[in-house]
Amino acid sequence: MLQVLNTPNSILSQKSVPVKKIDKNLIEFVSGMKQALEKAKDPIGVGLAAPQVGENIRVFLAKPTLKSKIFVFINPHVVDKENLASQGDALQDRNENKKKRIRKLEGCLSLKDIWGEVKRDSSITVEYTDEKGKKYTKTFNGFMATIIQHEIDHLEGILFPRRVLEQNGTLYKSEKDEKGGDIFEEIKI
């Protein structure tokens, strides 16, 4: 079974390369990624990018709820780039004609017990191919949009704490209390 890599691992900070063809090896790799995502329980995994399991290719998975299917994104490309957090104006106030941006607490399977508030677009349009070779252009909203932006950051070699720092946000370390609940403590940087 594929294992999720933790920081510091250099592959997590490298830009991923496009998938050239969808073949048996890629299908098997995606199957292994699905198993690794399903295995992630603390926290529950909602997304997983290929670099997180050691392959520097442009593939990620998203599973927004416990009961939802796992979505496979191969060579994803954001169509609506003007509203991505990576754009230069992303940290400035947006005028009313721009899409709404929301701040949510994010974590990462490669950064155990680290959390941070990241401002992401509430809606994003992506072109991608699935594991069967079917091409899509779809708009995703809410939590799914957040997952996609987080995973695309992974494909660009960007971990979410960088976004937190760019946005002058706060990072937190979590630990369990005696009842198994999460306690969050601010990390001073």
In a domain, 2, yes or no: no
CATH of the domain at 92: 3.90.45.10
User: Which residues are registered as beta bridge partners of 126?
Assistant: 78, 138
Q: Which two tokens stand for residue 19?
A: 């998938």
State the pLDDT at residue 29: 98
**Which of 55, 106, 131, 151 does the annotation list as catalytic?**
151
Query: For the whole model, what pTM was predicted?
Result: 0.86
In a domain, 101, yes or no: yes
147/64 Cα distance (integer angstroms):
8
In a domain, 127, yes or no: yes
Residues 53, 66: contact at Cβ < 8 Å?
no
State the pLDDT at residue 146: 94
In the chain, the number of structural domains is: 1
Residue 93 CA, chain-centre distance (Å), reads 24
What is the chain's Cα-based Rg? 16
In a domain, 171, yes or no: yes
State the pLDDT at residue 126: 97
Q: Is 151 among the residues known to form the active site?
A: yes
In a domain, 116, yes or no: yes
Q: Which domain holds residue 96?
A: 10-187
Contact residues for 100 (Cβ-Cβ < 8 A; gap 6+): 121, 122, 123
E strand residue ranges, 31-93: 47-49, 59-62, 71-78
User: Mean pLDDT of successive 10-residue segments in the chain (189 residues)?
Assistant: 93 97 97 96 91 98 95 95 43 44 84 93 95 96 94 98 94 88 83
